[in-house]
Amino acid sequence: MDDTFLLKTVNEAYSSVAKTGATAGYATAVARSFGYTVEQLDSIPLESHLGLGCGNPTVTVTLKPGETVLDLGSGGGIDIFLAASKIGADGQAIGLDMSAEMVQRARRNATRRGLSPPNVCFIECSLADVLPIRSNSIDCVLSNCVINLLPPFGKTNIFGEVYRVLKPGGRLVLDDILAKEQMPSHIREDMKQYSCIGGAIQVHEYDGLLKLAGFNDSLFVDSRADLNIYLMAAELESNTPSCCGAGSERPTSSSGDRKDLDLNQWAASYQIYARKPDEVHGIICDTPLEQWWDAFPAVRATDVARISPVELAAMLRDGPSIAVIDVRAEDHGGGHVEGSLNRKAQTFHTLLESFHAQVVGAHTVIFYCSGSMERGPRCAGWYQDFLDSSGRSAPNVRVLDGGIRRWLDAYSEDAELTEGYPHA
């Protein structure tokens, strides 16, 4: 299988898992067998664990409040949610995944929990590319059952990228499946439906790639977990995808009998620890993303038309049906346009579908924030992109020029146009 095709196949497989989800029974059986406690599972959204892991990096890693954590191949978000509870509101937990559907699922889970960028971000990107993360900005990199899925060039790339983004002294805790020995080709063939075992490399090869990237003292610990849990749990829940099967057909051995297949004979789940040396020079950066909106796709519609406060006032008094959207968050208050809906900019992109359903009947949708310089035009742009990509032409999208500041300059005293203005 060529590398691009492998990336595409893996993407499709996990996107399909993200759409269908896993049964709670399967996901819990797999998670418990790889070391997640009942308390951990009870503390996170059910939809965030899909039985796709091969370990539990969050149980051994020590995370302190305020730290930055990066999860490679974050899936439904299980390890990000557990890490987020340790690093708290002052920290930053960022999950990367190439599957748009997985990222959507994880963002929805986060939004339901009231978590949003910059504190908790999920970003769509391939680990085989340059990561959208600033150099020397991450305290701890985690990953659970993902590196094995990368093609050879992707494995080399990701360790180089992890080294780049870690702060000097930053650490790496990976759970991954490694091959116990060189697999004969017919066994690799048997394993090919198990993407995470078919792509597994041996300890010395993995260590070689880490060293190449600059991690000189890695530690490999065989968790001794029983990989046949994937077979047993799938046996119980016939339609459930596994970490290794990832939505593919039910696997069999070359003899045709899946009972012959003992995953433990060929592979094992390892926890791998490494540290970027302290003495590496580089400017330490405390913000892995330049801005919170870098967690979302760049806006294509950067030229959404503006309307003036006078035009909006006329529309409110006697115009077509409109929806006015205030996208401020904690700074929402101190007066807003009469009747406006408040939608926090940081979660706006995640909820575009439901937002559209709510405003689709309006003739014009008008966005604003404090000065309509950043959040207002950004959300308007995302909404316009959403309309453009789905071939919908209505409603019209506009930005209120000058935001709430200019609006209040003109209409703060007008109770029909302004709500919640704190008169002295």
- Shortest approach of ligand SAM to residue 423 CB, angstroms? 52
For ligand SAM, the binding residue among 58, 99, 109, 372 (CB under 6 A) is 99
216-222 CB contacts, 8 Å cutoff, 24+ apart: 216/277, 217/274, 217/275, 218/272, 218/273, 218/274, 219/272, 219/273, 219/274, 220/178, 220/270, 220/271, 220/272, 221/270, 221/271, 221/272, 221/273, 222/268, 222/269, 222/270
For ligand SAM, the binding residue among 47, 97, 161, 190 (CB under 6 A) is 97
Answer yes or no whether residue 144 interacts with ligand SAM by CB under 6 A: yes
Per-residue mark of binding to ligand SAM, 111-130 (x: CB under 6 A) = ---------------xxx--
For ligand SAM, the binding residue among 45, 47, 58, 75 (CB under 6 A) is 75
For ligand SAM, the binding residue among 35, 45, 117, 154 (CB under 6 A) is 154
- Residue numbers 38-57 binding ligand SAM by CB under 6 A: 50, 52-53
Per-residue mark of binding to ligand SAM, 190-219 (x: CB under 6 A) = ------x-----------------------
For ligand SAM, the binding residue among 70, 102, 263, 289 (CB under 6 A) is 102
Count residues contacting ligand SAM (CB under 6 A)? 25
For ligand SAM, the binding residue among 120, 150, 325, 327 (CB under 6 A) is 150
For ligand SAM, the binding residue among 29, 110, 120, 145 (CB under 6 A) is 145
Answer yes or no whether residue 243 interacts with ligand SAM by CB under 6 A: yes
Residues 6+ apart with CB under 8 A from 229: 29, 30, 33, 34
Scanning 72-80, 203-211, 273-281, 366-374 for contacts with ligand SAM by CB under 6 A, the matching segment is 72-80
Per-residue mark of binding to ligand SAM, 2-41 (x: CB under 6 A) = -----x--x---x---------------------------
80 versus 365: smaller Cβ distance to ligand SAM: 80
Answer yes or no whether residue 73 interacts with ligand SAM by CB under 6 A: yes
- Shortest approach of ligand SAM to residue 166 CB, angstroms? 18
For ligand SAM, the binding residue among 61, 93, 98, 380 (CB under 6 A) is 98
Answer yes or no whether residue 78 interacts with ligand SAM by CB under 6 A: yes
Binding site for ligand SAM (CB under 6 A): 7, 10, 14, 50, 52-53, 73-75, 78, 97-99, 102, 126-128, 144-146, 149-150, 154, 196, 243
